[in-house]
Structure formats: C-alpha cells, structure tokens
A and B are shown apart, each in its own frame.
Chain A
Amino acid sequence: MPRYAMVIDQERCVGCQSCTVACKSEWEVPNGSARTKVRQTGTVGQFPKLSTAFYVSQCNHCDRPTCVPACPTGATYQDQNGVVRVNRDLCIGCGSCVAACPYGARYINAEIGKVDKCDFCASRLSRGLQPACVATCPAHAKIFGDLEDSSSDVFQFVYRGAAKRMETANIAIGPNVYYAGKPEHAELALASFAPLPPRTLAPGKVWSSLLNKFVFLAVGATFLGQAVAFFHQLSTGEKQFEE
C-alpha cells in the first residue's frame, strides 16, 4: 500500500508560485485561498551576509492528523495511502478542522460552503499523473512519491538523506511534506512558519466540555425520574382507570 509523501527541496525552489496557480487552476480554488502556496521567510542576517528561505504551505497529510478527530461528522478522513481527504458529501462547513490544523492548510470554499485542501491530487494519481503542482514546477523543487518504495526519490530524501519535518517540540504530528536542502534554510522556514497549536472553535469547546455532560445529565435525570415513578407504580399496584 503506497504511503504518499512530498519533499520540498528548498535549494531548488525559487518561490515562483507556479505550483500555487497550477493547483488553483486544477481545483478551482477561489481567490483569497490556496491549497498550496509558496511563502518566503524574511531576510535574516547582517548585510551583506544575508539569508532567506522558501516554504510551501499546504496540507502535510500528517501521520497523526489533528484535523481528522476534530471533524464532527467524520467528513475529513485519512485514506489507506495516508492522504488526508475531505468527503464533500459529509462536510457541513463548520470549520472545526480549519482551526484544528497547525499548518493552516485548510480553507472554507465560499462557493460551495465546504472545506477544501490539498489532497495530493488524488484523482490525478488514480490516472497515473503527478500532482499538478509537482508536474508544473520549473525548478523540479517538489518531489512526490511513495515512502514504501525504496527506489523512489522521496524514500532517498527521507530515509537516506537529511530531509526534515516541520515539527516543533510542542507540535510533532508527523507531517509528510519534508524539507531538503541546507539545514539553515529548513531552520529558517521553521522559525518563520512554525506550526501553531491546533485550536478548537468556541462552539466546539462548549460542546466537548459542557454540552455532552449537560445533555446527558438532563436526559439521565429525567430518565431516572421516570424510572423512580415506574418502580413506584409497580410497588403500589397498577391503578387502572375504571371503565
């Protein structure tokens, strides 16, 4: 079973956004949102010893995604290839998963009222094509493949090379978009675009902390109340209404 992953070679990337637009074109991503987008860190260092790095913000199809459990209806799920996907037929567009993603990879598609994000171009993969962003990149900076295939480039980068995950001490959920190239560029990218703690929306917090308890208390109490009444009824004998 393939386990898909991607490697961003920061030394190759020039930040041209070809991937952003190819993806936008392939998946009708509305203006203002992006499934994948290249970001550039600020310039660090002292003139003229300067440094900057490129980072690609998109779904990382993590090993332990925080978005999947956050979805009330289970519309967001991880398939057998490790690709985190959204079932549009189950999504109600509540946005819980958007808040739960540490990488800010998801967005609400206002045109359809549902959540969208990179799915490694699942329908292209099934046709034997590369993801749109990978296919278009002039610098061949996005490398895509199967981590279970030892002959694949991603395997080499991840297991033989020094490809890094964008993880911090607090947030280490196993992102499967790795970063290759100079270590200082990966560090710079991580410093500028570190994953943030997954958030729960206010209604979600109310639900998980209060609501279940409250509702079950109410239902339980009324149920118990009736159970008491029932036993009372049994003990005092059936008082049938006389005809």
Chain B
Amino acid sequence: MAQRHIKKHHVAIVLLHWFNAISWLLELSTGAGLIVSPYYRFAPMWYLQMMEGVFGSRANMLRFHIAVGLTWTAVFLVYAIFGFRNYLRIEVLQNEIGLDRDDVRWLRVRTLLLLGRTKDPLPPQGVYNAGQKLFALLVYTMVPLIMLTGLTMTFHWFGTAFVAWAMVLHFFAVGMVVSGLMIHVYMGAVFPEEKPAFYSMITGVVDELYAYRHHFKWWRSVKIQQQAWRAELTSKEEAIGTDEKPHQDPRTDAAPLISRPQSGDRR
C-alpha cells in the first residue's frame, strides 16, 4: 500500500519556522555576547572575546543584533497584517493553544509515562498535543514582549526608565523561551517518536499512521472531510451522461467548497 500523507504545514509556515530558528540562533549568540557588565553577564569571557573578534567591535555586534531583530520583527508583522483574518479565529486558536480535557489528562499521563509510573494510554490529541500547545502559549506571550522591549531599547521609547526595564524584561522573556526551546528542540530533533513531526516541518506533510497514532482527533476530522469529498465526487461521477452542468472551479464559486478551514491547512 502506498504511503499516505496528510498536509500539516503550509509552505509559509515551514519557511517562517526556519527563518525564526535561524534568527533566534543569531540573536541568542549576539545577545549573549553583548552583556559584558560583571553584574549581569552570564557568558564566559572567552565567548565574549570571541564574539567581539568575529564582529570586529561590540558596536558592530549590537548593530547586527538590532538589524536581525528588526528584520525578524518586520517579517512577523507583515505576516500578522496579511494573515490575521486566517488565524485570529476561535477554532484556530483552540487548536494551537486551547487546552481541553484530553490535553490536561495528556499532560499528566505523559509525565508519568516518562517517569515510568504508569501504563495508561495517552488521551487523543488534536493537531498539536498539549505540550506543543503550552509551548505555543509561552511563545505567543513572550515573543511580543521580546519585540516590544527590543524596539524600546533600539529607539529609546518613553525614556530611560522604560529602557532600563525593557532590558530586564527582554532578557527574562528570552530566557523563558529558551527554557521552552530546550524541550521543543529535544522533542523535535532528538526524540525518535516525533521524527515524523520534524520532517513535516521540512516537507509540510505527515504520514497518516503517525497522524492516527499521535494526533487522532485531527486525523479523524481530516478523514471525515476526505470522505465527504469522496462522496461528492462519487455523486458527480454517477451523474455523468445525464444533463449535468460542467463543474465549476470551486475557487471561482461565490460559495467556497470548503467553508471552514481545517487544522493543518490554514494561515
């Protein structure tokens, strides 16, 4: 039987994800290299000196950090401006960060599983499991904070006191996301069970069996939709020979064929 795939990530999401990852790497490495005060620094001296060497001067490093930061902010702003209609919807947000009863149980069971303290099965999950939803929630709260504080420091908004607090909040928000990243990177890149998820962030699709096993609720809704499509096509096939009107391209129809976006195909 041929391998069957379901589209999980739109190509824009894929590109955005890796753009984000690279930006984060650049910003983390330069950001760590910028904090040199003995009261606040955390990177070792050799690292600070190496980074200064790479850029020629710390002023250059700051300029680079600001340039990448502004670009990163701008890209997401553009994305937000053009895409907000598609994702600022209840269903979308529920899929990404909404925790239902299954999610809460999943969190408990998953933790106990890791500790080897249970043999219960994991409750069914949607397109994103509860852990992924928590991470999304963290990112959605921290990233705007990172952007705002970064802009405050770059353009000296609202005066010195704001800039001073912005520094602290910037570092705090980044730290929180980095903590989340520890899990996100491990789960995505190292943990073998989730390997298909990692590849889906490159190809945009996941294997059906993986979807069935790990994201049952999503797999089911996709299957229901596919069945509906097949039923419609079958009825159209049977109507050939009678006086059937030619099929209109659904994209030119006033009423779109798919009235509501399904998980895995939005934004």
Contact = CB atoms under 8 A, between A and B. Distances in A.
B192 A203 contact: no
20 contacts: A74-B58, A92-B153, A95-B161, A95-B164, A108-B159, A204-B39, A204-B164, A204-B168, A207-B39, A207-B168, A214-B172, A214-B175, A216-B42, A219-B179, A219-B182, A222-B183, A228-B114, A233-B192, A241-B192, A241-B193
Question: What are the 7 closest A-B residue pairs judged by CB atoms, nearest first?
Answer: A113-B156, A215-B175, A89-B59, A222-B182, A226-B186, A74-B36, A95-B160
Nearest to B160: A95
Contacts of B250: none
B202 interface: no
B130 interface: no
B3 A243 contact: yes
B29 to A, nearest CB: 15
Contacts of A216: 42, 175
Contacts, number: 139
Contacts of A114: 156
B186 A229 contact: yes
B175 A108 contact: no
| Interface size range of chain A in the complex | 35 or more
B172 A211 contact: yes
Contacts of A230: 186, 190
A221 interface: yes
B34 A73 contact: yes
Interface stretch (A3-11, A16-24, A64-72, A173-181): A64-72
A201 interface: yes
A238 interface: yes
A172 B175 CA distance: 37
Interface SS of A by simple majority: helix
Given A69-B39, A70-B39, A219-B175, A94 B167 contact: yes
Q: Interface of chain B, helix or strand or loop or mixed? A: helix
Interface in A50-78: 69-74
Contact of A201 (B36, B155, B164, B209): B164
Given A70-B37, A87-B59, A226-B183, A203 B165 contact: yes
A144 B66 CA distance: 39
Given A73-B62, A90-B58, A208 B40 contact: yes
B191 interface: yes
B105 interface: no
| Max chain A Cβ within 10 angstroms of own Cβ: one of B182, B187, B210 | B182
